[in-house]
Amino acid sequence: MSTMNLKCAVLALVLGGTAQAVEPMVPYDNFNPTEPNPARATKVRGIDPARWVDHETGTRLESARELAFTRLRLMSRSDTPGAGSFGLLFSHSSAVTAIAAKVRLNNARTTGYTAPGAPAAESTAELTGHFFNTRTGVPSKNQQDDVIAAIRIVSRSTDPVGSQLLRVEALIERCTNASCSTRAQLFAADLGQVHQGEQAALRVQWDVANHRFVFQRDAQPEVYGAYTVTDTFPPASPNKALVVTHNPPTYLSGAPAPLGYANAYFHDVFVNESAAPAP
Amino acid sequence: MQRVPLLLALASLIPTGALAAPLSTKLLPQNALVQCSPTAPCTQPTVDGAVPALEYADGKMFPLQDYMNGGPNGDLFLYVSDNAAYTWDECNVGGPQAAGIPFIQTNPCHSQSLFIGMRLPVPKDASGNFLNPSGIVTLWLDAKRDDTLNLVATASKPRDEDRRIMFRYSTGPGATTGISQSKGDGTNGWIPLAAPTEAWTTTAQVMIPAWDLDHVHIEFEIKLAPGLSAGVASEPLLSAVRKLGLGIIHAPASVSGATQMVGGGRFPNAKDVPPFDLFTETWETLEFKEPAPIPLSFTMWNVGQMPDATFWVNDGGSGEIDTVARKIFRKEVACISEIWMSYERGELIEKVNKLRADEGLPPMQAITELNDNTFQLATESTGLVLLSSRQILEGGVHHFPSHMCTSDDCLQDKGVIWARIATPAATAPVLFNDHDTLRVAAGTDYAEFVDVFCTHVNAGENTPGPDTDAREDQLFDIKAYAQQVRRGGPLNANSFPYLLGDNDIFPRGTWPGGMDRPAFLLGDMNTLGPKHTQADTSFPRYQDMVGPSFLDISGRTEFEKANTLFSEKRDLARTSSGADPLATGTWLSSACADTVADELGARDRIDYVLVFPPEDTTEFPAFALLKEPTASVSPHFDPDSLVLLGFPGQLFKQCLSDHAMVDVTVNLARVKDVAKYNPAKEHRIEYSVKQVTDLETASGCCADWFSPRVMMRANGVTRENTYLNVMEDQTIYPNWFVHTGPDNIIPFPDLPAAFSGTVNMTSEIWEADTGPNDHYDSIPEGGAGTTLDEKDAHFSFSANSGVLRRVKGETLANDWLTEVELLGSFLDGYENGISLETQGQDTSTGNNARVRHFFNVKELESP
């Protein structure tokens, strides 16, 4: 194989994507303002406001959203139930149908007493977005029936205490209320374990023609999350984002206070071609 | 115009009325009670005429420069013995302590004496034959120095207690000597002593030793007189004062047949203000106290930030980049090892400087390897970061040759990082009297530096085998690299023992040597070492490491054998300065308890701060270490940590790293004074760009630097060098240079003696970009302007006055004469050059760089 062919093959592998139905992936931001990919007409200091919008829901004890040399760093620490998510939205989220990035959850901890039968508390680093809505006529701010897809690295309160093992997961959910604070799961897949501090290349891509999402971790085989709901209507919230999230357990009086901590790094962000940023 | 520059050791020591203050030097008398014993005898000069330097090892050395005639410099040595009497068995006993000292020595040694040794160049005829010199040495002694310093009205003139000693000599056939002594008359002159008992007992000898035929040696012993009444007589060694005013001039006589008169010299060594016969303020003050300390602290810490791309390895501690940054951002010089990912090294530097900015501290400068090469394995680096809150004057990265490794270490490119650090003395304020207006010179004194090396060597076993073999190869390589660096390069040489490593990063050309001072090696040496008084013999690999086959730092230098004042320590963190001297173990484990700080005595020690001593010669080093450095070891327990280790897993707390942090504080002292600019001599002029840092973005990696123009115009000739090969990093240490001298392709002659014109210099800093290349702004003036004058620093050196200035630019001829910033005068010293940082402020493009410039006036050998 010639050098050029090898490079093309490597490039195809990096960009990923299913062959027939989805747009090719293109660079969106490598979080390296000195040598940006894609190139910019002018260099920027810090996070590029033309490409990203700050995003935060809930409250937290401590947080950081910053360029860390050649990566984006998102850090959040919270002991508050309903801590929500913290990160960056794509500035033109509506055009984004696919997100890929290298993600490293450098440190995460999720503790707290979980009531019997209640889901475990979670801290995550995610590539996520609202991709469509299952019904028409949704008021613009009512996110009910928005369908969310995410690929994420997860720490859970049910993990062994002190464990440095995290999980990589793919997830499709439907919002069940207007604020999307409650959701119904449409699809979930475990993409394997990852250590704290271990980098994973993640991709989530809406394959609308085949009514499914495509998930991929590193060079592992693609995982397809098929759904049967209607996918022809735009979401109420067009947000696509890189975030860290906390979902602490319901705090039970007398139990130790819950804690969610996530310190994550993102870089080499790609999106579908039609969402490519302006130079 | 009279310029009276004053070099003050530290800003805090600037006395009131500093403008009028005489020059001062600290000289600690040798104290028989403290420094000498039968088991460690002292050395005192023997006044036999020969002046081997190490006779004066407990004193100080100064240059003697002939500003009238030029020619090679002479040497002056001063040594004082204190009040305590010597016993026969504690000084000059048992044979010479060091090489060069004559076997027959005065015994017992003399207390309360000032010894003066001079080595003066001998004139030659046209065939190069030595001729017999003659001349006069005049010594002035201001006995009640505090009166002079306190501006007592009568003390500005020589008074009854002051002495002038004149020594006439000739050499060769019919050689003669004569000595006379007079005292001040309190008004305006010198008068004969009223009686011989008024004399300060003086002995003088002169000779041309067979082992030093190009110098005439002159030696004095002058008995100081502290026992006399302080009200009427001298006070130099009185405990309440301990000062002496001293002036010295050597005036050579004309020698028939000599091509040039040589050998003039003076103390104090100031071109424009020689010691005047009748003005005591023009003599230098000898303060009989410890040399001015130059404090420096070093930190060594392996922080265990392991790679995450090629394979996953447990960090071994709970530390992350931000927690590490919080522990080190206030350090002075820190060697941080085991940060394998380029982006984590870059993030550490950013975090440290963010924390410093929050506290109003200037940024730390750094040397590491940063790149954005997608196809380079993350582990192909030393994993080291060297951070300094002091200016870094030069720097480089050396990788061990690739065969010097075992096992997983071969997946890495371990090596050693070098930083030449400006000490606090380099940036101490130098006041310059410009037309009777005191101004602070902006330049950094390049003579005031130490070389610091930061390393991490092969891991593995300590029992003899492949691991220790590889490690010892690396230790030998470190030694060879450090020698090459300290000798002034070049580092592109690839001849045994110094071997160029793959992807080494180093400055071009050469730089001032640093073998005349201690250098420091900070590192995870992966070699078990003794703590406190534990026997070296129990640690054979340690013995090998510091022994002559590898680092070669265990032996005493000749200077150390003769000196009793300075530290001879090599392994600075062997003993803790805290309550438990054994608490210096550094190798922790992944699991830590909150009692870890109490367990350091039982832990192994593998992280070090070591000293390379100055080159072992029979001459003085420029600097030595004051007794004794202090050390502490800190494990940094993390109470918030919790980790599951082992199989089946058990819960443990952790430290931030599985290595403890080592902190060492030293005090340097200058023992050899600097030579100054002498316009009567030929000079080689050098200008270079030493460091470039990208200020364009708040983050990111990495700029691709080049320079199309490093220009010098001297004596009607212009030389422009180009450096178009891109250097990639956020900060580079390129040494893009231009200089006069014979190695230019197109002749660019050195400055002749007595040259009185100007030398003009400038450089352009560019970054290669995907679009048009960017011409970076490197000066605060000019704003968004695009001309050379608005982007580039311009400098002008006046050979007549020795003053270096940053100037407006080059558009108009007069711009070269329009001062923007005063850097300093080489008449004040700056023996190895002046360095200056400039920083761009282009708010339009943001293409700003911080650039370190360097300028040197190097005295050539005498004609």
Q: Nearest to residue B102, comparing CAs of B60, B59, B56, B48?
A: B48
CB distance B644–A33 less than 8 Å? Answer: no
Choose from A34, A43, A199 for mutation: most chain B CBs within 10 A. Answer: A34
CATH of the domain at B234: 2.60.40
B769 CA to chain A: closest CA distance, Å? 8
| A20: DSSP letter | T
Looking at the DSSP bridge assignments, the partners of residue B417 are B397, B454
Q: Nearest to residue B694, comparing CAs of B682, B705, B707?
A: B705
Q: What residues in chain A have their Cβ under 8 A from chain B's Cβ atoms?
A: 31-36, 39, 43-46, 64, 67-71, 73, 104, 106-107, 109, 160-164, 195, 197-199, 263, 265, 267
Q: Which of B268, B287, B306 is the last residue of a domain?
A: B287
Residue B307 sits in the same domain as residue B200: no
Domain extent at residue B109: 28-287
Q: Which residues in chain A have their CB less than 8 angstroms from residue B373's CB? A: none
Residue range B67-98, pLDDT digits in tens: 999 999 999 999 999 999 999 999 999 999 99
Choose from B697, B728, B776, B777 for mutation: most chain A CBs within 10 A. Answer: B697
| Positive or negative: CA dihedral B144, B146, B147, B148 | positive
Residue B628's alpha-carbon distances to A52, B29, B571, B577, B785, in angstroms, are 56, 18, 12, 10, 53
CB distance A67–B701 less than 8 Å? Answer: no
A64: nearest CA partner in chain B: B322
Residue B440 sits in the same domain as residue B551: yes
Instruction: Note the helical H segments in chain A.
Output: 3-15
Residue B282 sits in the same domain as residue B302: no
Helix (H, G, I), strand (E, B) or coil at B817: helix
A41: nearest CA partner in chain B: B771
CB distance B308–A45 less than 8 Å? Answer: no
Residue B609 sits in the same domain as residue B724: no
Q: How far apart are CA B587 and CA B739, in angstroms?
A: 48
Is B13 within the bounds of a domain?
A: no
Residue B37's alpha-carbon distances to B42, B82, B85, B318, in angstroms, are 7, 15, 12, 51
Cα atoms found within 13 Å of the Cα of residue A166, Cβ hemisphere only: 27
Q: How far apart are CA B364 and CA B370, in angstroms?
A: 16
CB distance B703–A44 less than 8 Å? Answer: no
ipTM over 0.85: yes
Residue B649 sits in the same domain as residue B766: no
B352: nearest CA partner in chain A: A68
Structure confidence at residue A247 as a pLDDT band (50, 70, 90): confident
Give the pLDDT of residue A82: 67
The total of structural domains in chain B comes to 3
| Positive or negative: CA dihedral B614, B615, B618, B621 | negative
CB distance A71–B343 less than 8 Å? Answer: yes
Is B714 within the bounds of a domain?
A: yes
Q: Which of B344, B347, B642 sits opposite A162 (nearest CB)?
A: B642
Residue B701 sits in the same domain as residue B645: no
Q: Any chain A CB within 8 A of the CB of B643?
A: yes
Give the pLDDT of residue A5: 36
Q: Which residues in chain B have their CB less than 8 angstroms from residue A33's CB? A: 697-700
Q: Which of B350, B649, B697 sits opposite A68 (nearest CB)?
A: B350
Give the pLDDT of residue A12: 36
Residue B70 sits in the same domain as residue B205: yes
A32: nearest CA partner in chain B: B700
CB distance A195–B771 less than 8 Å? Answer: no
CB distance A198–B846 less than 8 Å? Answer: no
CATH of the domain at B399: 3.60.10.10
* CB-based contact B483:B475 (threshold 8 Å): no
Q: Any chain A CB within 8 A of the CB of B615?
A: no
Q: Nearest to residue B571, comparing CAs of B526, B611, B537, B520?
A: B611
Is B678 within the bounds of a domain?
A: no
Residue range A156-203, pLDDT digits in tens: 888 888 888 999 999 999 999 998 988 999 999 999 999 998 999 999
Q: Any chain A CB within 8 A of the CB of B89?
A: no
Contacts (Cβ under 8 Å, ≥6 apart) of B157: B184, B186, B187, B188, B278, B279, B280
Is B265 within the bounds of a domain?
A: yes
The ranges assigned to domains in chain A are: 3-275
Give the pLDDT of residue B232: 53
Q: Which of A43, A44, A263 sits opposite B320 (nearest CB)?
A: A263
CB distance B699–A39 less than 8 Å? Answer: no
Q: Any chain A CB within 8 A of the CB of B640?
A: no
B350 CA to chain A: closest CA distance, Å? 7
Q: Which residues in chain B have their CB less than 8 angstroms from residue A79's CB? A: none
Average pLDDT of the residues in A105-115? 79
Q: Which residues in chain B have their CB less than 8 angstroms from residue A73's CB? A: 347
Give the pLDDT of residue B203: 96
Residue range B393-429, pLDDT digits in tens: 999 999 999 999 999 889 889 999 999 999 999 999 9
Is B260 within the bounds of a domain?
A: yes
CB distance A162–B649 less than 8 Å? Answer: yes
Q: Which of B670, B700, B735 is the last residue of a domain?
A: B670
CB distance B306–A34 less than 8 Å? Answer: no
Structure tokens of B360? 């109003």
Q: Nearest to residue A174, comparing CAs of A138, A215, A132, A210?
A: A132
A69 CA to chain B: closest CA distance, Å? 5
Residue B145 sits in the same domain as residue B259: yes
Residue B705 sits in the same domain as residue B640: no
Residue A253 has pLDDT above 90, yes or no: no
Structure tokens of A261? 């901590």
Q: Nearest to residue B844, comparing CAs of B783, B770, B790, B801?
A: B783
Choose from B303, B306, B308 for mutation: most chain A CBs within 10 A. Answer: B308
In the block, residue with structure tokens 């390379």: B612
Contacts (Cβ under 8 Å, ≥6 apart) of A232: A132
Give the pLDDT of residue B16: 32
Q: How far apart are CA B610 and CA B629, in angstroms?
A: 11
Fold of domain A3-275: Jelly Rolls (2.60.120)
Q: Which of B342, B372, B771 sits opposite A35 (nearest CB)?
A: B372
Residue B162 sits in the same domain as residue B280: yes
Give the pLDDT of residue B309: 59
Mean pLDDT by 10 residues, chain B (863 residues): 33 36 91 96 97 98 96 96 95 94 93 97 95 97 93 91 96 95 90 91 96 97 71 71 95 94 96 93 96 97 83 83 97 96 93 96 95 70 96 97 91 94 96 86 97 97 96 97 96 88 93 97 98 97 97 97 97 97 96 94 97 97 97 95 79 94 98 96 97 87 95 96 95 97 94 96 93 93 92 97 97 96 95 97 91 96 51
Give the pLDDT of residue B229: 54
Q: How far apart are CA A106 and CA B80, in angstroms?
A: 62
Is B153 within the bounds of a domain?
A: yes
Is B16 within the bounds of a domain?
A: no
Q: Nearest to residue A224, comparing CAs of A236, A211, A234, A212?
A: A212
| More confident call, A118 vs B589 | B589
Structure tokens of B682? 């030929």
Residue B576 sits in the same domain as residue B615: yes
